[in-house]
Structure 1
Amino acid sequence: MSDFIREVDEEYRQDQFRHFLARYWVLLLLLVILVLAAAGGWRGYQYYRQQQAEAAGARYFDAVDAGTADPKASVAVLEALGRDLPAGYGLLARLRAAGELGRTDAPGAVKAFDAIAADARIAEEFRDVAALRAGLLVVDSAEPAELRRRLEPLADSNSAYRSVAREMLATAALKRGDDAEAGRWLDAIVADPQAAPDSRQRAGFFLGLVRAGKPAASSAAPGAAPAPVPAAVPEPASTPAPAPAHP
């Protein structure tokens, strides 16, 4: 008896399924077509983005490798690429252009780096690099208040570039004879457990001079310069990677 009931139940379910297919087969077919089209479209979009990124990378590296004896022409080419290329390689071109401009026109380079640092569409770490490069260009000429305005946000304990910014602030303070401010920044480096060992070693050496009451001129002797700042953000490897998505 139980087998008979099970067979009847199975027949009923099959009959219901046939009725369902007869009624909705068109909608089901359309759904399958839409799913396949969406998957194909997504793969096509990914391929398109990859091709665009590779083309942008090739243009960027060609411009960098070609170079030119005319700095103005080189800057013009890089600035054009900064406007034309997608966000990732476009940003690299803008940073490179500002760096090249700094060789002949420091105020213009500061303005270019400031524009990058103020661009909210760019990731914060790249904006910080631009702000640091601008600060490096004015570290010997800016008024103390202006230098603090530029560099103190980067010297914050949450900044990835705090040690470099603190060294720059300390060096500038030593050059103008402000041992108190220099000692404050040097002490911050020494007390930072995440600071690079060489940075802490330099800071400790100059902090010892400051506490010993040595003249600022002696403290600012060769070797007191802050750690080198990268000329630009790390560039992609020889094989261009896809450009970062636009924020």
Structure 2
Amino acid sequence: MSELFDEVDEEVRREQLKKLWDKYSIYIIALAFLVIAGVGGWRGYQYLEAQKAAEAGAAFDRAVELAEQKKHAEAEAAFADLAAKAPYGYRILARLRMAAEVAARDKTAAAKMFDEIAADTSVGAPERDMARVRTAQLLLETTPYPNMLQRLETAAGKDGAFRHSARELLALSAWRANDPTATRKWLDMITNDGDTPPGLRSRAEALQALLPPVAKS
């Protein structure tokens, strides 16, 4: 008797499933199609993006070769093209390198380009700090210390990716301004940072030796 009930239950379930399939099969098929199309589209997008990145990488390498051959005008044009058309990461790198090429002929124009990168909130913090440092390097001899401080203080913070270079530039700027207190402040930050590169540490220690002794209170 139990086997008969089992057969009846099985038949009822089949009938229910058939009704559900007849009612919703079009939606199930459509959903499956959308899932397959979505996965295929995503894979296609990934392939195209990878291809674009590979092409941009090759073009970036060619531009770098032009720069190394001192073909600055050609390199500048190549980096400008990448900055306009390449995927995001290569666009930022190309903007930085293009500004560096411009610096070979016009420091003021290059500093402006680096400033634009530093002010661009769509650019990552390390790249913005790099742009600040590059601007400061170009303007060190012509910019007063307060202006340099305004430009570099953020980059010189404890978590800055380019804090070592920023601190050295601020120390040099303060030294040029005959401000031993500010000079000593930045040199101390350099020598007290365990991650300071050895060469930079040596330069900081050499400059510290030139400072007047601290007055005793």
Matching residue of 1:33: 33
Instruction: Encode CA deviations 1:66-122: one digit per residue, 9 max, x unaligned.
Output: 456553443234223322323222222221111111122111110111111112221
Within the alignment, does 1:145 sit opposite 2:146 as a pair? yes
Q: Distance in 2 between matches of 1:20 and 1:87?
A: 49
Q: Distance in 2 between matches of 1:63 and 1:197?
A: 32
- Which letter maps to 1:60? F
Q: Distance in 2 between matches of 1:64 and 1:33?
A: 46
- Which letter maps to 2:30? L
Alignment of 1:154-165 (within 5 A): 154-165=155-166
Matching residue of 1:51: 51
Within the alignment, does 1:14 sit opposite 2:14 as a pair? yes
Q: Distance in 2 between matches of 1:84 and 1:28?
A: 41
- Which letter maps to 1:142? T
Alignment of 1:101-120 (within 5 A): 101-120=102-121
Name which structure has the greater RCO, CA cutoff 8 Å, separation 6+: 1
Q: Distance in 2 between matches of 1:137 and 1:55?
A: 32
Q: Distance in 1 between matches of 2:18 and 2:82?
A: 61
> How many correspondences in the alignment?
213
- Which letter maps to 2:54? E
Tell me by how many angstroms 1:176 deviates: 3.3
Q: Distance in 2 between matches of 1:204 and 1:6?
A: 91
Q: Judge which range, 109-118 or 88-97, deviates more.
A: 88-97
Within the alignment, does 1:177 sit opposite 2:215 as a pair? no
TM-score (norm 2): 0.85
TM-score (norm 1): 0.76
Which has the larger helix fraction? 2
Gap runs ≥5 in structure 1: 214-247
Instruction: Encode CA deviations 1:99-155: one digit per residue, 9 max, x unaligned.
Output: 111122111110111111112221121111111101111112211111111111211
Alignment of 1:219-234 (within 5 A): none
Q: Distance in 1 between matches of 2:22 and 2:74?
A: 71
3-state SS of paired residue (1:155): coil
Q: Distance in 2 between matches of 1:35 and 1:117?
A: 42
Q: Distance in 1 between matches of 2:30 and 2:75?
A: 55
Identity of aligned residues (%): 37
Instruction: Encode CA deviations 1:151-172: one digit per residue, 9 max, x unaligned.
Output: 1121122312212111111122
Q: Is the 8 A contact 2:66 2:75 kept in 1?
A: no
Gap runs ≥5 in structure 2: none
- Which letter maps to 2:46? Q
Shift in alpha-carbon separation, 1:70–1:192, aligned structure 2, 3 A: closer
* C-alpha RMSD over aligned residues: 2.4
Matching residue of 1:65: 65
Instruction: Encode CA deviations 1:186-219: one digit per residue, 9 max, x unaligned.
Output: 1122333443455445434533543647xxxxxx
